[in-house]
Chains A and B, each alone.
Chain A
Amino acid sequence: MTHWVHISSLLAWQRPAVGVIRFEREYAWWALQHDPHGSRFCAYLPSRGAFVEVSAEQLSQALVPTPDACANAPAPQASRPIEPAAGDAFISLGLDWDTLDHAALWALKRHHGLQVILACYDLIPSRHPAYFEGVHQPGRFDAYLADLAWCADDVVCISDHTRQDLRGFLAVAGAPTPRLHTVRLGCDLPIPIDGPPVVPLDRPFVLYVSTLERRKNHALLMRVWRALRQRLQPYRLVLVGMRGWGVDSWMAELQADALLQQDVVLLHHLPDAQLGALYRDCAFTVYPSWAEGWGLPVVESLAHGRLCVASNTSSLPEAGGGWAEHLHPGDEAAWVARLAELMSDPQQLQDLNTRIAQGFKPPAWHDTASAVHQIASAP
């Protein structure tokens, strides 16, 4: 029985890995190391309407120089379409709503009798389409979810919240429900933490690692920091993430507010070494997002021994696992009060961070990949 690992997203990715790419990459890396004879790799070529094989060597090149970086490595055009045997597994964990043609996968599955394992990260574009206005064609994600339900025998959901949300969606839409599993993303990458400081350390700072988009609720932090200024000299706020969509209004606000500019630092496209240094140097982190499918930055913060004050919505309490603190993303007063307290009481903050550093055990990518492999290997 062969496991066909679909890596189209990984081959096409050219930036530092986001969570989805990280999952696809970590699984491919794990399969290379731990299942070199049972796993083979493939990519979908829209220009040919076919899945073609990618050799282990070609995959290794895409993962060079470290498993942390992605080199853009186009799928080989000349390869023959894959010819799976009945009972083989097909595993796709990437940006399937963009890179996987489900009609083609469905045809492949029917033709060869494959067991198909797909991932579901969240249903946010479906549940909260307003956050994606102008980004996704309305409803397209719903169609992807229905296609996923048809193609998959097993769906790996990255949180219980996502699993329940998917189950509910499929039931209401009248789509079939495959076997749904929760497999939590790993968070044990060796992010180097010995680099030089990225921001001046003349003031303590609070870190928020996330794409800049409306759903991530940076606007709340702008209001909170203004309010904090009325009470105390706030910590600096360092926002790390590439600019997405729907953030024009608060960014314009920031540019027009000279005082706020003294408190807020925006950083984009940081290499992991700098991100590690930021986690090392920050006082604590925040994550006021309105909706998530998991909350990897919350776990990353905890893995670095830093308290995360996060939203209490969607999957975030699950990601926090009892170690993070949670507030409603719309409750500005609560955020102001708690952040002011933490900034005014360094001892309390230190105690919290110490407790996390000593007690929190981040999930390991090895365990994540093993769990997926086990699902794919089940009879």
Chain B
Amino acid sequence: MAAVKPPAPRHKPRPRLLTLGAYPVAQPRHGGQVRLAQLARAYRAVGFEVRQASCFPDQAGYLELGLWPGDIPLPHQQLQAWQGKAGPYVESAAAGDWAAAQAAVLERLEIHAGRVQVLHLEQPWLWPVVQALAARGRIGPFTLVYGSQNIEHHMLQLLWQQHAAPQAPVWTAALKQREIACVQGARLVAAVTEADQQALQAWARPGTAVHLAPNGIQPWLARPSAVVALGERLQREWAVWSGPKPTDGAPSLLASTPPYALYVASDHPPNVQGFADCFGASLAGLPPGLRVVVAGRAGPALQASAWFAQHAGINRSRLYVTGPVSESELSAWREGAAAYVLCVTGGGGSNLKTAEALYSGRPVVATEVALRGFEGLLPWPGLVVAQPGPAFVEAVAKVLLRSPIANGPADLLGSWPTSPSTPSTIPKPNPDPRRERLTWAQRLQPWAQTVRALAGDP
């Protein structure tokens, strides 16, 4: 008698969710990419089968980071005008209109997505694509949820005005309408700050809830050997003294890496402007030997700015630009930092870098604007809130000078790991359990669960 085959375990079908964003997230670099990647992770954690798709200008530096099947580059030459007029910072908005009019693009998205129960639109740029997909009906009758990172028309208005774009009023009005349409077309809306939540709620149809889904951090772990190597490199590059250590036991005044404050930012124009606003005319407000390290694309953009050129010599002596760095390099920079600076003076939304800085366990000097979205966590140990300008610079100098590495030869020699055999000298993380509340997993879980409840079972 043939053995009876046990029945195959029946997997409960999972609801499918499509994320649609304006950039690929195979290797997230900037804040928007990181948030979208973490949203996908949070959705998976609550039981969604997640498909990820994006439509983006093909020259925005994303191609080199690798693409997934749902990432569709659009010809940037076609995206230089919006609402019939050419101008700066219109590519993202134009991308939505252009992609929605391309049957090939829509078809590719539909093939990649299959039938979905939920579509998460991140930012308003691709709203026309969502409308087109809904009209074609091939991915099924989906529920739309909308993820806002900013009140975008406020930020873009500022940029268009800064660039004296004559179309600024028209574009601003059009973008606002698009944002309102997103909010009104969605069943659920995610905001990153309480202020944004209120603004979005004001646009929402009755019964549409706007939830707070604040930004968070992905805990990082620096390899001790990488931190040691970085420290040794900086000792070579920064210390004027570069010879052998004194053999007579006398401490050298410059025998270790000078302390630095870390600013991690992309080349998004407000990041550069924020830095200039915070540090004033130049970095002359920092004593000799102290530095600000700018990690990420903000550094080269800062060096190319008129602000930098005005006092290039002073700024060069107190600024170190890493340029784009890998995650492991960035982790080493984070571990070596004596302090973090958060130079946010404009724009909307909430800064991912704020969460990272708070999580670091290092002193943080931040503007009030940089703390948007983190109000519920304040006060925070080691956090100094300062107005941009002299007060900010003074606070940075103070926290750097208070750091162990700045306090004289005796401390200098013990504060920085000097060989791979001394990994224990890497500063210990802040044991405050509140740090864990900053992780993406904890910050996004309530939102993901709400969306999951909305989706029900397929």
List residues of chain A with CB under 8 Å of any chain B CB: 46-51, 80-81, 101-108, 110-111, 126, 137-143, 145-147, 149-151, 170, 172-176
Contacts and interface: CB of A to CB of B under 8 A. Distances in A.
B304 interface: no
B125 to A, nearest CB: 39
A140 B408 CA distance: 26
B390 A174 contact: yes
Contacts of A173: 281-282, 284, 311, 314
B289 A50 contact: no
A140 B254 CA distance: 20
Contact of B248 (A80, A106, A170): A80
Given A50-B252, A139-B313, A106 B281 contact: no
Contacts of A103: 240, 253-254, 258, 288-289
Nearest to A126: B313
Contact of B280 (A47, A50, A51, A174): A174
B221 interface: no
Nearest to A141: B313
B243 A48 contact: yes
Contacts of A47: 241, 243
Given A138-B312, A142-B311, 10 more contacts: A49-B239, A50-B253, A103-B253, A104-B241, A142-B312, A146-B284, A146-B317, A150-B287, A173-B282, A175-B282
Interface residues of B, number: 34
B277 to A, nearest CB: 12
Contacts of A46: 240-241, 243
Contact of A139 (B280, B312, B393): B312
A80 B313 contact: no
Contacts of B281: 172-174
A80 B252 CA distance: 11
A298 B248 CA distance: 49
24 contacts: A46-B240, A46-B243, A47-B241, A49-B239, A49-B241, A49-B246, A49-B252, A50-B250, A50-B252, A103-B288, A107-B253, A107-B254, A107-B289, A110-B401, A126-B313, A137-B313, A139-B312, A139-B313, A140-B313, A145-B314, A146-B282, A146-B288, A151-B288, A176-B285
B interface SS class = loop
Contacts of A48: 241, 243, 246, 250, 252
B126 to A, nearest CB: 43
A174 B252 contact: no
Of all A-B residue pairs in the complex, the 3 with the closest CB atoms, nearest first, are: A139-B313, A49-B241, A103-B289
B316 A175 contact: no
Contacts of B252: 48-50
Contacts of B240: 46, 49, 101, 103-104
Interface string B254-271: 110010000000000000
Contact of B316 (A101, A139, A149, A151): A139
A139 B282 CA distance: 12
